[in-house]
Amino acid sequence: MSVTQPGTEELVIVPHTHWDREWYLPFQQFRLQLIGLLDEVLERMGNDSRQRFTLDGQAVAVDDYLEVRPDRREQLAALVAAGRLAVGPWQILLDEFLCSGENIVRNLELGLRRSRQLGGSLPVGYLPDMFGHCAQMPQILRGAGLEHACVWRGVPASVDSHVFAWTAPDGTAVRTEYLAAGGYGSAAGLFDDPERVAERAGAIAEALRAWRPDGSPMLAMYGSDHTAPAADLADLLERHNRRQPPEGGTRLRLATLAEYFAAQPTDTAGLRAVHGELRSHARANILPGVLSARAPLKQAMARAERAVERYAEPSAALWLDDAAQRFLEMAWHRLIEVSCHDSVTGCGCDETAQQVAARIAEAEQLGLAVRDMVGKRLAAQVPHDAHLLCNPTPALRTDLVELEVAGDGPVHLATADGTVLPAQRTTPAPTLLADDTVPAGRLPTVLARVHGNELYGQEITSWHLDPAERLLHFTVARRSEAGFDVAEVRDALSAARPEGDWRVVIEAEPRQRIVAAVPAPALGHTAVRAAPGAAPEPAHPVRAADGALTNGLLTVEPAEDGTCTMRTADGLELTGVGRVVDGGDLGDTYNYAPPRHDVLVDRPTGVTVRRLAEGPLLGAYEIERRYAWPAAGDVAADGRTAATEPTTVLTRVELRAGERFVRLHVSFDNRSEDHRVRLHVPLPRRAGTSHAEGQFAVVERGLTAEGGFGEEPLPTFPAAAFVAAGGAAVLLEHATEYELVAEGGELALTLLRPTGMMSRNRHVWRDEPAGGEFATPQAQCRGPRTVTFGVLPYPGEWHESGVHAAAESFRHPFTALPGTATAATPLPGAGHGLTLAGEGVVLSAVREREGRLEVRVVAEVPHPVPARLALPGLRSARRCDLLGRPAGQGELSVEDESVAVRLRPWEIATFLLER
pLDDT tens, residue by residue, 266-275: 999 999 999 9
Amino acid at 471: L
- How far apart CA 828 and CA 594 sit, in angstroms, is 59
Dihedral sign computed on CA atoms, order 111, 114, 116, 119: negative
757-766 burial, b at 16+ Cβ within 10 Å, e below that, comes to bbbbeebebb
Task: Give the Cα separation of 548 and 662 in Å (integer).
Answer: 12
What is d(CA 816, CA 400) in angstroms, rounded to the nearest whole number? Answer: 11
Give the closest residue to 858 by CA, choosing from 797, 808, 791, 801.
808
Residue-level pLDDT at 7: 62
For the chain, which residues score pLDDT lower than 70? 1-7, 888-889
pLDDT for the residue 734 = 98
Q: Are 137 and 127 in contact (CB under 8 A)?
A: yes
Q: How far is CA 771 from CA 25, 287, 455, 510, 596, in A?
A: 12, 11, 56, 61, 23
Query: What totals of helices (H) and strands (E) does the chain contain, helices first?
Result: 15, 53
C-alpha gyration radius of the chain: 31
SS3 (DSSP) at 589: coil
Residue type at position 83? G
Residue 35 DSSP SS3? helix
Return the pLDDT at 768: 93
Q: How would you class 650 by CB atoms within 10 Å of its CB: exposed for 0-12, middle for 13-18, buried for 19 or more?
A: middle
What residue spans of 248-349 are helical by DSSP H?
Answer: 257-262, 295-306, 313-319, 325-338
Category of 431 on φ-ψ map: left (φ > 0), alpha (ψ -120 to 50) or beta: alpha
Peptide bond into 616 cis (omega under 30): yes
Round to whole Å and give the CA distance between 131 and 183.
13
**Dihedral, CA of residue 792, residue 793, residue 794 and residue 795, to nearest 10:** 180
653 beta partners: 621, 664
Cβ–Cβ contacts within 10 Å for residue 377, how many? 14
454 phi and psi angles, rounded to 5 deg: -95, 135
Q: Name the E strands within 407-457.
A: 411-414, 420-421, 423-428, 432-439, 454-455
32: Cβ contacts below 8 Å, ≥ 6 apart:
none
Residue 589 carries which side chain, given as an amino acid letter? Answer: T
**Of 718, 626, 674, 544, nearest to 132 (Cα)?**
718
Say what the pLDDT of residue 3 is: 45
CA distances from 303 to 299, 361, 468, 654 (A): 6, 9, 57, 21
Can you point out the beta strands (E) in 687-782?
A: 690-694, 697-701, 717-719, 722-725, 728-731, 736-741, 746-752
